[in-house]
Amino acid sequence: MFPGSAGHHEHFCPTDGTLIGRLPESSPADVERAFAKARVAAELWTKTPLSHRRAIMMRFHDAVLNHQKDLLDAVQWETGKSRSSAFDEVADICLTARYYANSAKSHLATRKRQGALPLLTTSEERYVAKGVVGMITPWNYPLTLPISDAIPALLAGNGVVLKPDHQTPFSALCALKLLVEAGLPRDLFQVVIGDGPTVGSAIIDNADFVMFTGSTATGKLVAGKAAARLIGFSAELGGKNPMIVLDDAPLGRAVQGAINASFSNAGQLCMSIERLYVHEAIYDTFVPRFVDAVKGLSIGIGRDFSAKIGSLISAEQLEKVSGHVKDAVSRGASVLVGGKHRPDIGPYVFEPTVLENVTEDMMLCRGETFGPVVAIYRFHSDDEAVALANDTTYGLNASVWGSPRRARALARRIEAGSVNVNEGFTASWASTDAPMGGFKESGVGRRHGREGIIKYTNIQTVASQRLMNIEAPGSMTGDAFARTMTIGLRILKRLPFRH
């Protein structure tokens, strides 16, 4: 981590208030120095063989599994989430490290492209590391988001300067220690601590590319700053994600899927389902089963796997979630289950909550709650379900349950970057080979898959010409050249097009 000079910040555990540690905060000048250090390291790193970078990621994969207890403790300590949600993060960075370690070579290999003139021009596409990637991440997945997005950036030959959310710096720092022990050059990956407007802005001021994850409001500010510098950026933003349960859905699995998708990480998940649309033919069967299953969820703050639902991260988050529920109830929504703050379990614990009769005038109807709260609605036809699902400014994730062919056809009509058929969110998220990201106000760019690593490169075309230049030879008039070229273009059109 970079030794900041802007004072210290004390970090407390949200579930028991114990002091986790004091970390130095960075000033904008510190951020500039962190970039300079990472840049020097990146110049050497980008020349290392990909096989060397790959071996480090494979060692890191094993180290994460071997040290998972420490990582789980760190994640739970600074977020208050359940241990099973923390384990999702450990599993995710392993999946990502393995995927990109194995696939980077084919993604980054120089590709032959069609040349201008057959036989005379050869053209190739190369992927050149951007330099130093600036990363800004939120608090909800403090291990997964910084590390899984850093892995492809590093494999592509870049350095990284990360600003984690100031509430959750420790998980990423623990993972960074393992990366360095696995062989990553110490200066290549810098972590700076501080707030968004000052330190986050300084990241954008110095980066060659920005990888941002956070709210749509902040994403727009980041996009504006990146545009002013003409640097590329990728933004993974908020959502108000719908689930549709068709009348031929496998009911038991759909109930379980809705639980997992609505309440994983106590709903503090960008892909979380906050709108649940159920076909009228099964509504009266589905809803009581769903409510019963919610009543059976274990809530707790222990450092073991006994609780499914953990704490929210902070008083601010608790206020937002309970504010959304209070507002909805005061305007006529019915609470089918949950709805209460549970200080008897932990200071920021909120019950998993299901609401009915949610209407347009309520804050949570369209606004992202980012907590364990789902609104349930009835629909009458597939067309109506699609229209309701798409009636949002967001487009991050969606889920459709039903007979596979019908559900898949409907999934293709949803305006979202990922749509899960007969799953809530994990099927698309964990398909690391497939790109993830948002439509509409849910993001720009993609993580995972080829797109998730190529974005960290500048694409360069090297075209080589043999025997003659592509211009009129000295003795030829412009007119004669145009006539010759016209004949050539006609012949070219007749030749088989290979791509």
Map the footprint of ligand NAD across residues 110-149, applying CB under 6 A. 136-140, 145
Contact between 271 and 425 (Cβ < 8 Å): yes
d(CA 240, CA 234): 20
Work out how close the CB of 270 gets to ligand NAD at its nearest, in angstroms, rounded to a whole number. Answer: 3
152 vs 443 by CB, closer to ligand NAD: 443
Based on the shown chain and the rule CB under 6 A, indicate whether residue 239 belongs to the binding site for ligand NAD: yes
Based on the shown chain and the rule CB under 6 A, indicate whether residue 200 belongs to the binding site for ligand NAD: yes
Work out how close the CB of 213 gets to ligand NAD at its nearest, in angstroms, rounded to a whole number. Answer: 5
Work out how close the CB of 82 gets to ligand NAD at its nearest, in angstroms, rounded to a whole number. Answer: 17
Q: Is 322 helix (H, G, I), strand (E, B) or coil?
A: helix
Distances (CA, A) of 18 to 23, 24, 274, 435: 15, 18, 32, 39
Name the β-bridge partners of 461: 125
Based on the shown chain and the rule CB under 6 A, indicate whether residue 270 belongs to the binding site for ligand NAD: yes
Q: What is the DSSP string of 340-351?
A: -B-TTT-TT-B-
Map the footprint of ligand NAD across residues 416-435, applying CB under 6 A. none
Residue among 46, 68, 123, 215 that touches ligand NAD (CB under 6 A): 215
Which residues, 6 or more positions from 386, have their beta carbon under 8 angstroms from its beta carbon?
244, 410, 413, 414
Q: What is the residue whose two structure tokens read 């690391």?
A: 432
Q: How many CB atoms lie within 10 A of CB 124?
A: 14
Query: Among 40-48, 194-202, 322-330, 482-490, which window interacts with ligand NAD (CB under 6 A)?
Result: 194-202
Q: What stretches of 272-314 show up as alpha helix (H) in DSSP?
A: 280-295
- What are residue 380's phi and psi, to 5 degrees? -110, -30
Q: What is the residue whose two structure tokens read 């009911």?
A: 251
Please give the size of the binding site for ligand NAD, defined by CB under 6 A. Answer: 28
Work out how close the CB of 12 gets to ligand NAD at its nearest, in angstroms, rounded to a whole number. Answer: 17
The catalytic site residues sit at: 236, 270
Query: Among 185-193, 195-203, 273-281, 378-386, which window interacts with ligand NAD (CB under 6 A)?
Result: 195-203
Contact between 130 and 457 (Cβ < 8 Å): yes
Distances (CA, A) of 105 to 130, 165, 207, 232, 431: 17, 32, 25, 23, 19
Work out how close the CB of 480 gets to ligand NAD at its nearest, in angstroms, rounded to a whole number. Answer: 58
Q: What is the bridge-based pairing of β-strands 111-113 and 121-129?
A: antiparallel
Map the footprint of ligand NAD across residues 333-392, applying CB under 6 A. 368, 370
Query: Among 170-178, 190-198, 304-312, 327-335, which window interacts with ligand NAD (CB under 6 A)?
Result: 190-198
239 vs 352 by CB, closer to ligand NAD: 239
Residue among 80, 131, 196, 300 that touches ligand NAD (CB under 6 A): 196
What's the gap between Cα 492 and its chain centre?
Answer: 44
Site string for ligand NAD, 75-114 (x = CB under 6 A): ----------------------------------------
- What are residue 71's phi and psi, to 5 degrees? -65, -40
Map the footprint of ligand NAD across residues 218-237, applying CB under 6 A. 218, 221-222, 236-237
Site residues (CB under 6 A) for ligand NAD?
136-140, 145, 163, 165, 195-197, 200-201, 213-215, 218, 221-222, 236-239, 270, 368, 370, 396, 443
